[in-house]
Structure 1
């Protein structure tokens, strides 16, 4: 059985994701689709709208055959680390190819860009450092440094979010000497950061989330942009847990974490650097909401995304030493769900997997997966007291979801 891998968040699963899955399966001529999906906290430093279990159901009901969790140490990270972890997992489970969405849609340009920047690595890295010293963010420094390397070659633009992720996927494949074949599908209609609907059936996850929080319990404004299964599961989540997850739900916990810590204690948290701890504490003293807090803290150098990731690490009390040592270890294959075809694939190839395979949490040493467990515990705080316990226990009690 041939497997194509996808790296996803599905926050939530929408029609654009369904298009990507269909195109991935067709272009790879694959029998099964394997998704590596971020857990309850995402790459941009946000709590997922609904839990990883509900997002797994969305995936399995819409074309994915196996869902594996991308561990916290890779999920809440800059693009390079995020890509390295996800690619290692897809290779370990035996994927033949990796298909990602991009603004470019031309895989040869990604391959040539990775090769080109490898050949000019010293100059490129020096330009990045020079631009960061000028006070710009890392993503902006990356884009400016890339623009400064003039070339007549077929290179991909690195000022678009999905192109940047795709570049890091292809780079990870090359540097890990992976046999996985990279493929890309051009994003359809909506841009990654679009906050407004601009098409009849395709919208970004950002615009869908914005509409959900604006409409609260009424999902009628988004129905044309999401599959029926997603719509049903979103309504069910509200019925079961009472609300969706967003940063404001966690503001009191984050504020407490910031105000009861000394600057020295905050400096031990992963990604807290360059004196940002003083700015964080000062802003927490003076603001009543997460949005206002972020507006006070944001600078040219510290993007909204980077600050959100820092806030997640503070919320989960993830220390520098702890995170770095975990990244250096081998990952694992934590199964969140499968279809009948996915189960057949697992039964056929499980003995060949090159990383530990986890289908029951009790079968794996808790200390080796504790970052994920702790993140799930903290994620449950975003619910009311009556439903928090239900989600808290699910991390231990929920077996992999099976959709026949």
Structure 2
């Protein structure tokens, strides 16, 4: 059976994701589409709108055959680690190819840019450090170093978010003994972080989430931008748990963690560096909500995304030592859901897989420690009666199986 892999978050699954899954299957002739999906906290340091089981159901009802989880250690990370984890899992599931959306839409510029940067890596790294020493954030330092070294003549525009992720997928794939075939499709209509909803049928996940939380008409506002199954799943989630997840729900928990931890304890948390722990503690005393806190903490050196990721690690109390061990390599594949076609494929390959395929979390508590902690903290954002129900789902919820 021919397979193609996708790296996704589905926050929530929208028409652009549907197009991506359909084009990936069509362009590769794949029998099976496998999505490796972030769990409860996402790459930009945000809680997912609905839990991973709800997002798995959205995917399986819209053309994806297998959904597996990208572990917390790789999902709440900068692009390099995020990509390494996702590509390793797809490779471990014997995907022959993987397909990602990008602003560029052609694979050749990604491969050419990777080659040129490899050839000059000995010059690029020192330049990046020079710009960081001048107070620039890591992403900005990378951009300035590339502009200086390559004089804006690289084949790929690495200022665009999907191009950046795609480049890291290609680089991670290139380190494998037997690389998968990479493919890319042009991202349709809406930009990655576009916050407004246009007249077309495709909008960004950012714009869709903003509309859900800000518009009076609620879910009806997003009806033209998402498949019917997505609307149904979100409505069911609201009916069951009462709320959709966003950072404001976790502000009291985060504020408590910041105020009750010493500066030395915060400095030991993963991604906390260069004395920012003092700034975090000071801001937590003054801020009345999460947005106000973020505005007072953000600096030229630290991007909004970098700070949010840092805060997730603080919220979960993930130490530098915890993360160092977890990101050495992917150690398992956790199955979240499959349909009949996906089930047939997994039955064919599972005996040959080098990584254990986890279908029952209770049997792998130690291996899943960070993911379990993420699920527990994620549940605490809800009212007590809903929180208890969601807490139980981490161990009691079997993989979703659709026909």
Q: TM-score, normalised by structure 2?
A: 0.98
Residue number in structure 1 paired with 2:387: 388
Write the deviation string for residues 211-236 of structure 1: whole angstroms up to 9, x where unpaired: 00013672111100000000111111
- For 1:152 and 1:361, the matched residues in 2 are separated by 48
Report SS of the residue matched to 2:150. coil
Report SS of the residue matched to 2:248. helix
- For 1:141 and 1:24, the matched residues in 2 are separated by 34
Write the deviation string for residues 202-255 of structure 1: whole angstroms up to 9, x where unpaired: 100000000000136721111000000001111111100001000000000000
Say yes or no: does 1:291 pair with 2:264.
no
Query: 5 Å matches for 1:98-247?
Result: 98-150=98-150, 155-215=155-215, 218-247=218-247
Say yes or no: does 1:86 pair with 2:81.
no
Is residue 255–residue 284 contact of structure 1 (8 Å, CA) maintained in 2?
Answer: yes
- Between 1:28-37 and 1:132-141, the stretch displaced more is 132-141
- For 2:158 and 2:371, the matched residues in 1 are separated by 31
* CA-CA distance at 1:154 after TM superposition: 6.2
- For 2:297 and 2:219, the matched residues in 1 are separated by 33
* CA-CA distance at 1:176 after TM superposition: 2.7
Residues 152, 159 of structure 1: alpha-carbon distance in 2 compared, 3 angstrom cutoff: closer
Say yes or no: does 1:4 pair with 2:4.
yes
Is residue 85–residue 329 contact of structure 2 (8 Å, CA) maintained in 1?
Answer: no
- For 2:194 and 2:136, the matched residues in 1 are separated by 23
Report SS of the residue matched to 1:116. helix
Is residue 72–residue 370 contact of structure 2 (8 Å, CA) maintained in 1?
Answer: yes
* CA-CA distance at 1:199 after TM superposition: 3.8
Report SS of the residue matched to 1:219. helix
- For 1:154 and 1:324, the matched residues in 2 are separated by 33
Say yes or no: does 1:371 pair with 2:351.
no
Report SS of the residue matched to 2:219. coil
Is residue 56–residue 67 contact of structure 1 (8 Å, CA) maintained in 2?
Answer: yes
- For 1:126 and 1:298, the matched residues in 2 are separated by 26
Q: TM-score, normalised by structure 1?
A: 0.98
- For 1:228 and 1:313, the matched residues in 2 are separated by 34
Is residue 217–residue 238 contact of structure 1 (8 Å, CA) maintained in 2?
Answer: no
Report SS of the residue matched to 1:328. coil
- For 1:235 and 1:217, the matched residues in 2 are separated by 13
Residue number in structure 2 paired with 1:304: 304
Residue number in structure 1 paired with 2:73: 73
Write the deviation string for residues 282-314 of structure 1: whole angstroms up to 9, x where unpaired: 000001100000000000111100000010000
Report SS of the residue matched to 1:220. helix
Residue number in structure 1 paired with 2:344: 344
- For 1:99 and 1:151, the matched residues in 2 are separated by 29
* CA-CA distance at 1:272 after TM superposition: 0.7
Is residue 250–residue 382 contact of structure 1 (8 Å, CA) maintained in 2?
Answer: yes
* CA-CA distance at 1:127 after TM superposition: 1.6
* CA-CA distance at 1:153 after TM superposition: 6.8
Is residue 189–residue 199 contact of structure 1 (8 Å, CA) maintained in 2?
Answer: no
Question: 5+ residue gaps in structure 1?
Answer: none
Is residue 71–residue 331 contact of structure 1 (8 Å, CA) maintained in 2?
Answer: no
Write the deviation string for residues 9-63 of structure 1: whole angstroms up to 9, x where unpaired: 0000000000011111111111110000000000000000000000000000001
- For 1:154 and 1:120, the matched residues in 2 are separated by 12
Query: 5 Å matches for 1:51-66?
Result: 51-66=51-66
- Between 1:83-92 and 1:143-152, the stretch displaced more is 143-152
User: Aligned residues, how many?
Assistant: 403
Report SS of the residue matched to 1:81. helix
Report SS of the residue matched to 2:104. coil
Residue number in structure 2 paired with 1:397: 396
- For 1:16 and 1:298, the matched residues in 2 are separated by 31
Residues 110, 386 of structure 1: alpha-carbon distance in 2 compared, 3 angstrom cutoff: same
Query: 5 Å matches for 1:244-255?
Result: 244-255=244-255
Residues 335, 213 of structure 1: alpha-carbon distance in 2 compared, 3 angstrom cutoff: same
